[in-house]
């Protein structure tokens, strides 16, 4: 897989202040303790397992796997902010970065980093549709663009955004992401 790591490289990987993961085909091959502890696990509990364990459904897992594929193919790099499910059931908000070592097949071998933005141990219940809309909003897409991505009417997306604004007590959709970070 990779050349043998020197002792210094192993120390740097293991004690990095952000979560680091080496992944092959969406399976965690190696991760540091920062990553596993961020999500409430020991390293041995996540290595060899699918990233599916950090998402609420197979659909969400499949959708997230397709996000950024074109950028990874084009440049070998992709970044966003995303929610991951902690072992205890609540969500954590992370800054995510990916570097594909195989851009022609982007998910074959990746180096990933996860920087914790916010963790709130009080669970926020979001529907699958709300999570999808929030994910696209975070990427800066408009209601019309989100609607095209999800094959829905832009009015449906506007309704979801309005419900979320009301629930989290914000007037503008731009403030919604900030409020969600506060709540985790």
Residue 59 vs residue 31, higher pLDDT: 31
The pTM (predicted TM-score) of the whole model is 0.66
For tokens 């950024």, what's the residue?
Answer: 68
Torsions phi, psi for 110 (to 5 deg): -125, 150
- What's the N-to-C CA distance of the chain in angstroms? 36
The 10 Å Cβ neighbour count of residue 35 is 23
- Would you list the domain boundaries of the chain? 13-119, 128-183
pLDDT (tens digit per residue) in 51-96: 999 988 888 888 888 888 888 999 999 998 888 889 988 878 888 9
Residue 63 vs residue 24, higher pLDDT: 24
Assigned CATH topology for domain 128-183: Arc Repressor Mutant, subunit A (1.10.10)
Please check the confidence at residue 122 and state whether its pLDDT lies above 90: no
Domain 13-119, CATH class in plain words: alpha beta
């Amino acid at each position: 897989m990779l050349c043998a790591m020197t002792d210094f490289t192993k120390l740097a990987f293991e004690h990095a202040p952000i979560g680091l993961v080496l992944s092959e085909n969406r399976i965690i091959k190696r991760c540091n303790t920062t990553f596993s502890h961020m999500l409430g696990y020991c390293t041995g509990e996540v290595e060899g397992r699918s990233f599916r364990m950090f998402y609420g459904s197979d659909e969400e897992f499949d959708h997230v796997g397709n996000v950024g594929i074109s950028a990874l193919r084009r440049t070998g790099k992709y970044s966003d902010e995303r929610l991951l499910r902690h072992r205890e059931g609540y969500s954590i908000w992370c800054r995510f970065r990916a570097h594909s070592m195989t851009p022609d097949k982007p998910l074959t071998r990746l180096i990933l980093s996860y920087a914790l933005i916010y963790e709130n141990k009080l669970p926020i219940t979001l529907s699958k549709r709300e999570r999808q809309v929030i994910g696209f909003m975070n990427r800066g897409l408009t209601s019309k663009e989100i609607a095209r991505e999800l094959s829905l009417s832009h009015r449906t997306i506007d309704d979801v955004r309005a419900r979320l604004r009301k629930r989290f007590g914000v007037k503008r959709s731009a403030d919604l992401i900030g409020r969600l970070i506060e709540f985790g």
